[in-house]
Amino acid sequence: MNDIFIRCSSLSKIMGQCKESITASQLETLNKYNEKGDDLTSKQKSERTRLQKKKDNSPRFDLSEGAKTYVRTLVRESNFGGRPNLDTKELRKGTLVEDRVIKLYNSVNWTKYKKNTVRLFNDWLQGECDIQNKEDDLIIDIKSPWSLNTFPFLPDEIKVGGYEWQGRGYMMLWNRNNFKLVFGLVDTPDELLDYEEDLSIHHVEEEIEPEIRLTELNFKRCLKKEELIKHKVNECRKYAKWYYEQIVNKYNT
């Protein structure tokens, strides 16, 4: 199970905090209490005892329940077959208009970026970002909203969700220090509009200026978060090995 390489687009599925594990901030607090020795209030001593028990009784796998569910899916798919059907109209639009959004971005920003077609692997991850540029020390990931109604006009309207972890994975893979999450609004292809009643929210390019149809959010590389990614991937591999062994040996126990 050491051949599991988490896709950058799925990183957020494994990065959740395990409720039973001591967090980095809790461990820092515990270390501070231990440095002070007995020079603590009764409340601090009680908290130190609680944190020490949490540290001493760490779970076997430092993974959230959601992460375990995801790893089980990976083990099932890689060993026994089956793939989820992720074909939705929203995803199809993203694939169909990706080049148009890149063209829109270039026209507004006077750049000449091209679609990346290379998939990279390191010891933990795999991924294929939309745009990478060594000269600008930059990774760009393109998102294409389904319609005008779902387009974020301002950066604070962007629902970042797992996109940040996805970008951090790309920065690791390409060794870049900057990640730009770009939302570009372009017309929805007609073949996807069979059951849409309001076409005005899909035909937007003639009505809205190009600059208005782009919104971006920027992130800087964080090596501490990359160490956490490595840790979580290693925990996933340990859990995947354990889960697979439970399956193949279930009649031998």
User: Tens digit of pLDDT for each residue in 38-82?
Assistant: 887 888 878 877 777 767 667 778 899 999 999 999 999 988 887
Q: Look at 19-28, 86-95, 175-184, 202-211 and tell me which has the smallest mean pLDDT.
A: 19-28
Share of the chain above pLDDT 90, in %: 70
Whats the size of the chain, residue-wise? 253
Phi, psi dihedrals of residue 180, rounded to the nearest 5°: -120, 120
Phi, psi dihedrals of residue 120, rounded to the nearest 5°: -110, 155
Give all domains of the chain, ordered by start, each with its CATH number: 6-83+234-248 (no CATH), 89-228 (3.90.320.10)
Closest CA to 180 of 147, 143, 127: 143
C-alpha 17/C-alpha 15 separation (Å) is 7
Average pLDDT, the chain: 90
Calculate the alpha carbon distances from 217 to 14, 139, 152, 158, 214 in Å: 23, 12, 11, 8, 10
Sign of CA dihedral 128, 129, 133, 136: negative
Q: How far is CA 188 from the centre of its chain?
A: 25
Tokens of 130: 């939309």
